Structure 1
């Protein structure tokens, strides 16, 4: 057994994206071990974020306006208190990022260069190097982490189980069999887009942090809400490249194979909420037409200067956005649900916090407002650090930890097939029950599919219980939203019980 310092004296942060790194930095000088499967910021969605970070800093903007936009996009399921807390933290978040070396794009006058994205009523999106915001923030934070003497970085390691004894955190089991003692754990492991064939996420991200917390007994919420980005590059490769919403914010329009601008009569047009745009594109695809994002009239020869990263992405696929429309399609992009937390990033388990995409804070509701996620990652990373710093460590448990069995290396192949076919952009009772039937035995087993199957099963179970269409969750058999709809929370035991009941003795459908 390997111990880092004395039992319980180090906070363990699991995940090396923006949320994990900012939390570790904010905890300084308290000792932290940061565990990351790859290098700092690598294999994380943070690294690939193009659009930017939403922050109401303009003279024409207020927290109230940003909050109204967020609540509208969230389709009635946002937690207004959480949303106001996160959005109000924007000035402090931007200041912290700049203090750690992030350099946001500015106008010739020295002000922040602010862009517009879908469903925002003001230009409030800050960028780094045009469309390189995630990479720019990640680089700066990674360098700050390397310089910070209180942070020990453990790379090439993956946490495969949380170890709890007597109701408290005692350690984490790594994929090489090492058992590291710790009394406080912060999950910052990212999303679950790797469970889908068409995704903009790293293929290895199948919701590990959510799975670990669920196996430990934590409550999950809003698992049914998977956001599909409307404009992933429709080309070869896995994951799919992303054509940022900011391109539409600059005036690019969506056209079908006949050249028709099919979003023109939709409220908000190309800048309608993502779920609306994604389903409109899917409808065009269903009738046999490819869809293209045409930036030629709006940007023309200036495309590469404004969006250098996307221009390189298109060039690699043989497309010149200055001369050709860009082929696009919806792809799994962001998960609004996950480990249930409060405004301090506390989960339902003592000694466990969750931040970033693996957490369900209530900010995003049923549909994330563009670029709120990077803001949430920073603000909640800060708030988790503040909460942890204000609490004493549990200290040594007084007993040695028993050996913990090492699970098999996760295999997502069978689960990805089921999830992609049945839990996509459009769902119905038949597809959801097919997913339950396929995933339940895998989740109940001990094989290589068990861990990813738990996440797929959670999505299917939450989706089956939500007999309405709301935000990113669209059911063709229940096309309308229900009045008074609320978020759902369940533990893994609850999920297993509901799934088993529904596959053996299904309840009658609601009237």
Structure 2
């Protein structure tokens, strides 16, 4: 029987930051389904929002967050997160993150929904830089064990108490035990046909927790990022909010700016508003992001990664208008937790995108995601202690079931199409009811026949899609990124 003081599922900013803190209290196991670098954090371009300028203040950041979230936020959680922000930026600096600076001061960016420049960033690859530093620190720590290419199948829960995890590793299923299981599995974007998320974002943590009986919250609030590359034959690629913060404009098929007629904040309105505006304009023709009016040297210096990636695709950010459309980006809801990451199941904790602290409300403010992840993964260690597990119940190992069922690939494609067509940017009750019936039918026909990670992922995608659709159906009125007609 393998036991650890702490088991963490996920290797992004929240999981690895918690691992470093937990290693001071006991033995830590980090489980990740691909390589440790393969986290959603690694793809985050923008930065971390925090009050770091003397002209800014906590109240402004709090209010910007509440406005973006349509005041559906947990204000206590928002206030705590915002006030902890500057301290956590210093924490990352101490770990070795080299934020962009000018003349010795942090170079702060502005993004949609923010009233001030407050985004600390590392060029246009902030997440990648933070991830690399965290991995370096984790690998040096003797109290942390890392299991790559290992998949958490299910939580081991009885009588509303979590005792550990069932893991698929090297083709074998085994049970691991711990008095503190932490889910930091990221988002759900892959349930949609078009997403900015990497292939790993299949809703594993949400689905696992739901199967175990954990309470969910705000699952209807799926945020769509307004500006994702939309060019035939080219892979979807996120174009950071920071581009608009530095003056990029959005233009319709006639070459005209259109955002001012939708919102007085123009291109810097919150994401839900910008996404819906683009969605409407796309009905008339292509939509473009244009920053070509800025000096080429400035663009290349501020956005080297985006410039290089677009160049590979035959597009020049300094000269071309870039074709864009919205894509599924971020889950604002998730596993319901308190400010200490505690879920409704004893010994089960969650933070980062998989969790719902209530900070984002009905729509997330740009660059508050990495902030939430680092703040709450730092906070949780204050209340968790390594405890000895006693009276562990018996748990049976998973066995593949079924012989006649939908293929993995086909089931996955069905889910993505249903979610994009019926549970997307603009929703209606008729479509949502259609979607839920189709998804329930797929769930009934899909079975995990092998010990392949992709089979388990598809099951999780189906069940996560059902959770999102049911929540959307319950909320009859529009709020934030849940827009009903």
Distance in 1 separating the partners of 2:465 and 2:234: 20
**Structure 1 contact 160–407 (Cα < 8 Å) conserved:** no
- Equivalent-residue separation in structure 2 for 1:151 and 1:240 (angstroms): 35
Range that drifts further, 263-272 or 370-379? 263-272
Report the CA distance shift for 1:237/1:337 in structure 2 as closer, same or farther (over 3 A).
farther
Does structure 2 conserve the Cα–Cα contact (< 8 Å) formed by 1:158 and 1:174?
yes
Across the aligned residues of Structure 1 and Structure 2, the Cα RMSD in angstroms comes to 1.8
Q: State how far apart, in whole Å, the 2-side matches of 1:99 and 1:445 are.
A: 51
1:496 maps to what in 2? none
Residues 179, 347 of structure 2: 8 Å contact kept:
yes
**2:27 aligned with 1:18, yes or no?**
no
Q: Which residue of 2 aligns with 1:179?
A: 175
Which one of 60, 64, 74 corresponds to residue 59 of structure 2? 64
The answer to whether the aligner puts 1:248 opposite 2:244 as a matched pair is yes
Q: Structure 1, unaligned stretches of length 5 or more?
A: 477-511
Matches within 5 A, 1:141-156: 141-156=134-149
Separation in 2, partners of 1:92, 1:376:
13
Query: Is it true that 1:285 corresponds to 2:278 in the alignment?
Result: no
Q: Distance in 2 between matches of 1:239 and 1:160?
A: 30
Q: Is the CA contact (8 Å cut-off) linking 2:173 and 2:397 kept in structure 1?
A: no
Please say if 1:38 is aligned against 2:34. yes
Instruction: Give the aligned partner of residue 433 of structure 1.
Output: 433
Separation in 2 of the partners of 1:127 and 1:214? Answer: 35
1:406 deviates by 5.1
Tell me the CA shift for residue 182 of structure 1. 1.9
Shift of 1:299: 4.0
**Distance change (3 Å), C-alpha of 1:239 and 1:368:** farther
Which residue in the other structure is 1:423 paired with? 423
Are 2:155 and 1:158 aligned? no
Q: CA deviation at 1:414?
A: 2.4
Distance change in 2, residues 1:55/1:407 (3 Å): farther
Shift of 1:394: 4.4
Q: Give the match's secondary structure for 1:412.
A: helix
Contact 1:443–1:451 (CA<8 Å) still a contact in 2?
no
- SS class of match (2:166): strand
In structure 2, the residue matched to 1:123 is 117
Whole-angstrom CA distance in 2 between matches of 1:450 and 1:95? 40
Q: Deviations for 1:19-39, whole angstroms, at most 9, x for unmatched residues? A: 100010111222110001112
Change (3 A) 1:474 1:299: farther
Match of 2:160 among 167, 177, 188: 167
For 1:57-96, list aligned pairs within 5 A.
Answer: 57-96=52-91
Mapped partners of 2:468, 2:393: distance in 1:
38
User: Which of 448, 458, 479 is the aligned partner of 1:470?
Assistant: 479
- Provide the secondary structure at the position in 2 that maps to 1:264: helix
Q: Distance between the aligned counterparts of 1:236 and 1:188, measured in 2?
A: 34
Distance 2:199 2:283 in 1: 26
Q: Deviations over 1:345-395 (max 9, x none)?
A: 111111001111001110000010000000000011111222213xx5142
1:405 has 2:405 as partner: no
SS at match of 1:334: strand
Q: Which residue of 1 aligns with 2:379?
A: 383
Cα deviation per residue 1:25-54 (whole Å; 9 max; x = unaligned)?
111222110001112231x22101111000
The answer as to whether partners of 2:209 and 2:335 remain within 8 angstroms in 1 is yes
Partner of 2:443: 443
The residue aligned with 1:504 is: none
Q: Does 1:227 align with 2:227?
A: no
**Could you say which residue in structure 1 is the equivalent of 2:128?**
135
1:471 Cα offset (Å): 0.8
- The alpha-carbon deviation at position 13 of structure 1 amounts to 0.3
The 2-side partners of 1:355 and 1:156 are apart by 21
Describe how 1:297-316 pairs up with structure 2 within 5 A.
Answer: 297-316=293-312
Q: Which residue of 257, 264, 268 corresponds with 1:267?
A: 264
Which shifted more, 417-426 or 221-230? 417-426
**TM-score of the superposition, structure 2-length normalised?**
0.92
* Separation in 1, partners of 2:275, 2:482: 12
User: After alignment, is 407-416 or 66-75 more displaced?
Assistant: 407-416
**CA 1:90–1:460 in 2, change beyond 3 Å: closer, same or farther?**
same
Please give the secondary structure, in 1, of the residue aligned with 2:426.
coil
**Size of the alignment, in residue pairs?**
465
- TM-score (norm: length of structure 1): 0.88
- Checking the alignment, whether the CA contact within 8 Å between 2:163 and 2:392 is kept in structure 1 is no
* Residue aligning to 2:97: 102
Q: Which runs of 5+ in 2 are unaligned?
A: 449-457
